Amino acid sequence: MNILITGCNGQLGNEMQLLEKAHPAHTFFNTDVDELDITNQEAVENFINTHEIEGIVNCAAFTAVDKAEEAKEPCTTLNTVAPAYLAAAIESRHGWIIQISTDYVFNGKNFRPYREDDTPSPDGVYGSTKLAGEFGVTKFCSRAMIIRTAWLYSSFGNNFVKTMLRLGRERDTLGVIYDQIGTPTYARDLAMAIMSIIEQGIHPGVYHFTNEGVASWYDFTKAIHRLAGITGCQVRPLKTEEYPTPAKRPHYSILDKSKIKDTYHLTIPYWEDSLRECVEILTSC
């Protein structure tokens, strides 16, 4: 197949590129804004038709959660409008699209892991625009697959792991939120799952994917420092109200992954095992 990857310079996009050589049967078109502006409908249609694209993995997104509260228009354009353009264009070729979404479509007030059929209730601009993006993709493409993920990190780009490594080396003390719970997710594991899905075939619908297990941001930080051998920084637990941000964060972001595991027979790594792999890459550079 001819497969379009958008947002190729981001965390997930870069991880997807590392795996492409293992799938020589497909031709991948890796694009970011310089190669294809997905907010331009005509450009999207021309690219997809010219290159005879049969499938899309949309990794592109406006992910600056706090900035989104004051930048609603560009956030909406990239998270809501652009996915609909991609979906409509690929539908005209009877192709498929995998849209990457987020735990922020939920408000985080649940008491059990969120399932795909739970009613979304986003609290902020980022979550609202990503949810609208889900609706647009499923409206315009009959072979649309939504994958919601959470707490994504990688050896590429800017992310929580890199920030905690840097601060752990720079500071004697560091305060980190302990009352927000989720699952750190290695972008390479998500990329591997996507490649497996492509090989097995698209089953349209909404799916959840994170690594296995749960942690708070405090637990996550302690593990990062331990695995990196950082011992000179004392990590203090903070309550959410002690670290106010423009956007509300979900207190509970655990996603139920049963559907994607059962449908695609995936074995998903435990979050700390994957974190060890990523930290080894980062500390060996």
User: Which residues are known to be catalytic?
Assistant: 126
How far apart are the C-alpha atoms of 140 and 52, rounded to whole Å?
18
Q: Which of 94, 106, 64 is nearest to 253 (CA)?
A: 106
**CA–CA distance, 251 with 180 (Å, rounded to integer):** 4
Name the nearest CA neighbour of 156 among 126, 186, 196: 186
- Report the DSSP pairing between strands 181-182 and 215-216: antiparallel
Residue 80 to residue 128: CA distance in whole angstroms: 9
